[in-house]
Structure 1
Amino acid sequence: MHPEPHTPGPAGAGHTHPDPGIDPPPPLPSTGGRPRALRIGIGGPVGSGKTALVAALCRALGEQLRLAVVTNDIYTTEDADFLLRNGVLPAERIRAVETGCCPHTAIRDDISANLDAVEDLESSLGPLDLVLVESGGDNLTATFSKGLIDRQIFVVDVSGGDKVPRKGGPGVTTADLLVINKTDLAPLVGADLSVMDRDARARRHGLPTVFLSLARDRAATPVAEWIRGLVAARATG
């Protein structure tokens, strides 16, 4: 058995360490005389569960916050289509970007298509509290430009084994929140969550990490709470 910190709670909410100690985001520029939305980037390798996490966050936050989503795929709109099929947000609140190149290019190097999508959402929908920008599946080096987002969530899963946090990379080491997803699969793939916890702590130097199973917690409770804290901190200045 794994140590108690890795055992999901009664609702399967996962575990966060250490206390995120939410700091308010840096001051945000205004859009048309009003503060623009908080922008959170969600990146990670192919199959780690990014789109499922976005869907869970939309379900958890969509009735509380004025929310919109931008998805990135290389040559398709598959991730946006998944969100639409699952009805997590009205269609007008979702924009799909076809990058036509490696996903990291559109979120880090040439962010113009994503910026256009975000600004179009804010223009057409009016004031927003939060925009989630989902990267296409990339590797452990994927990071978002600070010109595009205010905070970054990086998602990995246990299927690659418990060595993933130890491998590091900018996504693992510098993301504002690391999500280790699909913890329910750990016994099936021989992944030791305590090893992943130890290595994440060593690599992240105090930045928060969440262990999550969306099969057990469809609202991604610890991630949603982290985002609520950021929005509340920003609202109080």
Structure 2
Amino acid sequence: MADPHANAPGPIAANSVAAALRRACADDWAAYVNHAFVRRLADGTLATASYKHFLIQDYLFLRQFARAWALAAYKASDLREMRAASQTVDALINQELQLHVETCAGWGISEDAMAATPEARANMAYTRFVLETGLAGDLLDLLTALAPCVIGYAEIGARLAADPDTVWDGNPYREWLELYSGDAFQEVGRGACAQLDRIAQARIGGDVTQSPRWAELCRIFDQATRLEIGFWDMGLHRET
């Protein structure tokens, strides 16, 4: 089946495992990367209250995301992957979360206020799915569940940067657009794709799509993608 997203800008190489997974859930992927929340970020029309709600929940999400990457270090079978996972944990806890706190402070949201906010149901559903997948499966299962977040945000950033309808001047969300379309995050996305390829080859070898595990990997990736859609819905409608 042809990949309707094959020519989309972003980190996903045409012959990668991520590209094959994206093809397998093309409709849900399209709904994710073209969500109304994303479109309103791009044109600057997203309600401020929705963005603030999203920022708070994203802070809570990142804390659980760091736990998932700590689990990836435990699930790794060699030092190279243990180091990769531990570096991601360090980056999340000591860099990305701190940057997120600084961004939120600019919107009048303190870290204490975020930490005291209950996780929204969509947030809990997504993060617990990832952790449960990692606990029940191996590193490949866990990385497949994690992939739509990192790889998807990189693709969204690249798409919006290439879209002539994206508003930059006077857009209150320009910082978000610049972060995910920037070279640094695009490199993170490429790294995530490469890591998924390496682990798939190590665990399965050959043509991953012909493996008996392929259907389950597609299910995991599609479920995580649908939970990403739910996260956008949560932000847009300020669901708790």
> Does TM-score exceed 0.5, indicating one fold?
no
Compare the two structures and name the one with the higher helix fraction. 2
Compute the TM-score of the two structures, normalised by the length of structure 2: 0.31
Question: Does 1 or 2 have the higher relative contact order (CA < 8 Å, sep 6+)?
Answer: 2
Length-normalised TM-score, structure 1? 0.32
